[in-house]
Structures are given as C-alpha cells and as structure tokens.
Amino acid sequence: PPDFKKKINLINEKFQGATLNGYAVIVDEAQNLFRAITNGGDTAVDFYNLAMRSPKAKFIFLSGTPLQSSPFALSPCFNMLAEPPNILPENIFDFEQYFMRKPTPDNPSRVRNARKFQNRIFGLVSAIKISKAYSAQFPQDLGTKIEEIPMEAFQYGVYLLAREKEIAENSRQKTRKRPTGAFAKNQSVSSSYRVRSRQISNFVKPRDYLDKPIDNIPLAQITSPKFKAILANIKKHPGIAIVYSQFVGDGGLLPFSLFLEHEGYEQFNAKAPTKTKKLRYAMFSGATGEEGIQALLDVATSEQNKEGEIINIMIFSSVGTTGLDFKNVRSTHMMEPYWTPDREDQFRRRGIRYQSHIMLPPSERNVMSYIYLAVHPRTPTTKDDKQSTRPSTDQEIYAMAQERAVVNGEFIELIREVSIECSIEEDPDVSCRICAPTDAPLFNNDPKREIFAALIKDINNPDPCQEIVEKEVEATKVVVTINGTEKDYYFIPSKDNIFGYIIYAFNDALGNYKEITPRDPHFELVLEKIKKA
C-alpha cells in the first residue's frame, strides 16, 4: 500500500540506521508481506531489513493462510520473529536444498529434514483452532466443482498460436538462474506467466475484430464458452454470485461485463442508481478506488440486497480477494485458475464469512464454488495438433496449484505440531511435538558462522529434541481448602526439586494433572500443607 511504502521510505531516507526497537509491530494478512519479501519487492525488503536490525522489537504476524506460493515465505517470517542471527536461509535455492525434496513412491513427503526445521521455530507459532460454536456461524461450504470447458474452434486456433510463442520464449529462458543476495527478485513464478494463452482461454475477440478495441465489438459477439458456463451456473443458485478474474481488460472482467449486458444485466452505479427491474452487476477493480468499493459494498451487503435484488453479480480482480466482507453469497466463480492455492481459498472465503448468511433462511445458508478450466476441443482441429495431447494452460496451472497446496499443507502441519497451544487444543488431526526439558539447545546458530554451516552441522548431528516418555508414578494426595472450597493436590518427594516436592493439580484445559510451579498463587499454601502432613 502507498502509505506503508511512504512510511518505510521515510525511515530509511531521513533516519539512517533507525530501528523499531522498543515497538510492538502487528501485521494483519501477513502472508502478503512474506510474499512481497520473497519476490524481492523493494519496500518489503526494506521493511525486512529494518526488522532484522531491530532485535528488541516485537513482531506479531496474523494470517489465516500464512503460505501462498512457496514454503520459502516462512524464511522472512521466522527470521523476523526470532532473535538474530537468521534461523532460515534468505535464498530460495538454499531453502529448497535443506528443507524440500521431490516425492518418491517410497516416500511421498515433500519435506526434507522436517524435525530439524521444527527445531528452529519452536516457541514462535500460535495456532488456534476455530471452535465448533464459532464454526456453526459460517454458511455451509458445498465444496468446489471443477468445470472443464472445451474451447471453440476459432478460439482454439488463436490459443495455439499464443502457446507456440510462449513455448519459444520459454525455451530461451529454460535455465533457472540462481538468485544472488537475500530475497533477490524473480525467485517465484511471474504474474505474466502464460498470460496470453490464459486470457485467450477466457475470451478471444471475434475474427473480424481481433485488432479493434472491445468497445467497437457488437455486444452479441462478445461471448465465450466460459462466459456461458459461468452465467448458467449462476442461475442454478438464486441470490448473489461473485466472479473473479486476474484480468480486467483482455480476457477478463471487461468482456465478461459486456457479455452480461447483452444477457440483460446492467452495471450498478452507486452515484446514480436506477429503479429498473433489470438484474445488475457491480465491478470491483483497482480503478474503482477505496471510496467506490465501500459504496458498492454498502449496497451489496445491505438487507435490501440479501437475495440480490439490487446487485445480483459482483465481479472483481485481485483487489477483491482479500479484505472485502461480502454477505449472502450463494455461489463463487473463479474464471481461471491461479498457480498458488491461497488465491482460490481467499476468493472463496469472500463468500464464506462469519455470520454472513444470517439474513437468509437456514435452507439458503450455503455456498457453492466453481473453477473454470478451458480445455482442448473434444476433437483435434488439425491433423498436426500436438498440443491436444498435452494439458491445456488452465489445466497445467490448476495442477501446479494443487501440487503447491500439498507442499504448503505439509509445512503448515509441521508448524501446527510445534505451536504453543498444540497440546491444549487436543486436535485429533495433529500430532503435537513436545521435547523433554533437557535444557539442550534445539539448533546450532553460531553468530560468527554463515547459516549454511550451522544448518549442515544441525542436519548431520542427532536430533536434540528428546520425546517425552510417559510413566506412571505413585503420588500422595493432600486436600487443601482454598476460599472455602476443598481441592485435591498430589505430591511426590524429589531430591532434585529445590522445595523437596513435585506438586500436581488437575488442569481443566488439559483434562489431566499438571505440575504447578511457585508462580501458582496457591503454591505456598499447598507446600505448607504438605510439610505439615
């Protein structure tokens, strides 16, 4: 955001050597910051450097989806949270070398040195599971349907030409260059990746209008198989629908909006609303502006629009995938896949919100999601059509997102296993990792040595995290009266304990007995009762 960039530049330019020491910094939707840093964004990297020279600052990163394109985003996250020096590599090649691997039939995991990775992030993660009572306030998620839409003949011909050009360009850039320096640019997939074939997969101008502005094309000729499929699915779910595309101009929101107008819709204008009985759509894009977006949201989320009476379809680009709080959405439509799984999840979550459907009757409190993939025509258009034997651009990008979802999911699982609340949450789907209190450091980080040397040393050494071994012990019961109420405690004599005893009390959160320490407000009272006994 401009304000964020302005503040960082102010610190860097006017306060050379300034730090954030003494401050607590809270970042919401922190995954966007991590992504910007790993992509080498100047302002984001400036913030990272500012954070790293502020060892006495406290950082709190909030996110429901901490990983977007790659687990490498965890490097800036945990480096900023931990005390210096770095605990994870600042170069994607090094991160992948030490912590990622290709799956095999014998070992399907994508993670390398999982335990050594966890050792470096102990104490830095808080992960709270949503309660059943809270979850019940969300609409029912009916799942996601993948719609494979065959391209039309002319559209496919233009698509093949675009793919030939993309393949030629890719062959010239086949070698993946190793980036130099911390968080160098171009360490991830570019937003321009296969951009032309992706746009054509959504929509291509008619043969006679290929070189003309879209405003010059008759509305009746602005159509595509995807557009037709999207509108047909919208009509299956009466109420409000939201439609996403990364593209605004060619192959995106603009031609789709014109297609809607030919189908009888009109664009809603918050400044000049009409009273016609036509169905309406609203467009959210970067050009809409914050005030314009808020004005549209006020109408779209009002009780008067709970069934889509005023605005039936809301279409938006990436500007609407985070931060917007929609109400009463019945279906979501992703016009084309994105190569990172978070984009799909964040878009769907615009429609699946806390208490977002309470205006609707219980039978309508649900959301169906769709993703549209353009595929090759059912029959090859030419004898030498080699592309038809390969996945289409949409299919490859969707498969890429699914693979990344698996990789990211494995790392998220590792994070949850070492979260502070893991043992308290008692989630049956998570196997908490707890180390026995041996006082042994969990990883090696010599400030005078490069992190790579420290990583190699850690990987070659035995895991210092020893599992806790449960054993039964005999303890003596003592009853202590506290504020007029009797409470049971148990104690075991111990020569290693400075007070001579290990004392246990029942912990409601754990559902079991737990050792109490001198910090417990009743510790001295219990200890006195034990000594008298």
In the chain, DSSP finds a helix count (H) and a strand count (E) of: 17, 13
Q: What are phi and psi of 329, to 5 degrees?
A: -75, 130
User: Residue 480 in contact with residue 487, Cβ under 8 Å?
Assistant: yes
Q: Which residues contact 309 (CB under 8 A, 6 or more apart)?
A: none
CA atoms within 13 A on the CB side of 470: 4
Q: What is the mean pLDDT of residues 296-313?
A: 94
pLDDT above 90 for 325: no
Could you say which DSSP state residue 72 is in?
G
d(CA 521, CA 361): 50
DSSP code of residue 305: G
**Sign of the torsion angle spanned by Cα atoms 15, 20, 25, 29:** positive
Q: Are 90 and 75 in contact (CB under 8 A)?
A: yes
Q: How buried is residue 505: exposed, middle or buried, by Cβ count under 10 Å (0-12/13-18/19+)?
A: middle
Highest mean pLDDT among 91-95, 169-173, 231-235, 400-404: 231-235
Q: Which amino acid is at 145?
A: K
Tokens representing 38 are: 């790993």
Interhelix angle 393-417/114-121, rounded to 10 degrees, is 60
Q: Give 99-130 pLDDT, tens digit per residue.
A: 999 999 999 999 999 999 999 999 999 998 88
- pLDDT given for residue 426 in this prediction: 72
| 348-382: pLDDT as tens digits | 999 999 999 999 999 999 999 999 999 999 876 55
Residue 421, pLDDT > 80, answer yes
Q: What's the pLDDT score for residue 449?
A: 58
| Mean confidence (pLDDT) of the chain | 88
Q: Name the more confident of 383 and 153.
A: 153
Residue appearing with tokens 């102010």: 10
Maximum Cα–Cα distance across the chain: 99
Q: For residues 91 and 387, which has the higher predicted lDDT (pLDDT)?
A: 91
Strands 485-493 and 501-507: antiparallel
CB distance 229 to 303 below 8 Å: no
Q: Determine the pLDDT at residue 510.
A: 72
pLDDT for the residue numbered 358: 95
Q: Are residues 78 and 436 in contact, defined by beta-carbon separation less than 8 angstroms?
A: no
Average pLDDT over residues 242-249: 94
- Which is more confidently placed, 467 or 11? 467
Q: 282 near 267, Cβ under 8 Å?
A: yes
pLDDT of 460 reads 87
Q: pLDDT class for 5, splitting at 50, 70, 90?
A: low
> Of 174, 159, 142, which is closest to residue 363 (Cα–Cα)?
142
Find the range with the poorest average confidence among 54-68, 150-164, 179-193, 432-446. 179-193
| pLDDT at residue 174 in the model | 58
- d(CA 25, CA 410) in angstroms, rounded, equals 28
User: What pLDDT sits at residue 152?
Assistant: 96
- DSSP assignments along 175-193, one per residue: S-PPP-STT-S--S--TTT
Task: Give the pLDDT of residue 526.
Answer: 95
Q: Is 238 left (phi over 0), alpha (psi -120 to 50) or beta?
A: beta
Q: What is the mean pLDDT of residues 514-524?
A: 91
Q: What are the chain's domains? A: 2-124+435-460 (no CATH), 136-176+191-398 (3.40.50.300), 476-532 (no CATH)
Q: What is the pLDDT of residue 178?
A: 61
- Over 70: is that where the pLDDT of 321 sits? no
Q: What is the pLDDT of residue 512?
A: 82
Residue 180 pLDDT > 70, yes or no? no
Long-range contacts of 382-388 (CB under 8 A, 24+ apart): 385/160, 387/160, 387/163
The answer to whether the CB of 59 falls within 8 A of the CB of 52 is: no
Whether 38 shows a pLDDT value over 70: the answer reads yes
**How high is the pLDDT of residue 508?**
83
Q: pLDDT value at position 399?
A: 96
At 439 the pLDDT is 83
**Residue the block writes with tokens 């992030």:** 121
* Of 118, 83, 119, 113, residue with least CA distance to 440: 119
Measured on CA atoms in the order 9, 11, 17, 21, is the torsion positive or negative? Answer: negative
Q: Residue 304: pLDDT band by 50, 70, 90 thresholds?
A: very high
Separation between Cα atoms, residue 308 and residue 305, nearest integer Å: 5
Residue 384 in this model has a pLDDT that exceeds 60:
no
Give the whole-number percent of the chain exceeding pLDDT 90: 61
Nearest CA-CA partner of 240 in 301, 323, 285, 283: 301
Q: What are the pLDDT digits (tens) for 49-78?
A: 999 999 999 999 999 888 888 899 999 999
The pLDDT value given to residue 507 = 86
User: What ranges make up the beta strands (E) of 387-515?
Assistant: 476-482, 485-493, 501-507, 512-515
Residue 181 CB neighbour total at 10 angstroms: 10
Alpha-carbon dihedral of residues 397, 227, 255, 391, nearest 10 degrees?
20
Question: Which of 446, 392, 420, 396 lies closest to 126, judged by CA?
Answer: 420
pLDDT beyond 60 at 15: no
Q: The tokens of 430 are what?
A: 């998570």
Amino acid at 163: R
pLDDT at 177 over 90: no
Contact indicator for 491, 474 with CB cutoff of 8 Å: no
Considering only residues 321 and 58, tell me which one the structure prediction assigns the higher pLDDT: 58
Q: How far is Cα 512 from Cα 396, in angstroms, rounded to an integer?
A: 50
Report how far apart the first and last C-alpha atoms of the chain are (Å, whole number): 66
Confidence band of 336 (pLDDT split at 50, 70, 90): very high
Q: What is the pLDDT of residues 249-295, one digit of tens each?
A: 889 999 999 999 999 999 998 877 777 778 999 998 777 778 888 88
The whole-angstrom separation of Cα 71 and Cα 89 is: 12
Q: Which residues pair with 350 in a beta bridge?
A: none
Nearest to 226 by CA among 191, 255, 206: 255
Choose between 334 and 271: higher pLDDT: 334
Q: Which two tokens stand for residue 340?
A: 């990172």
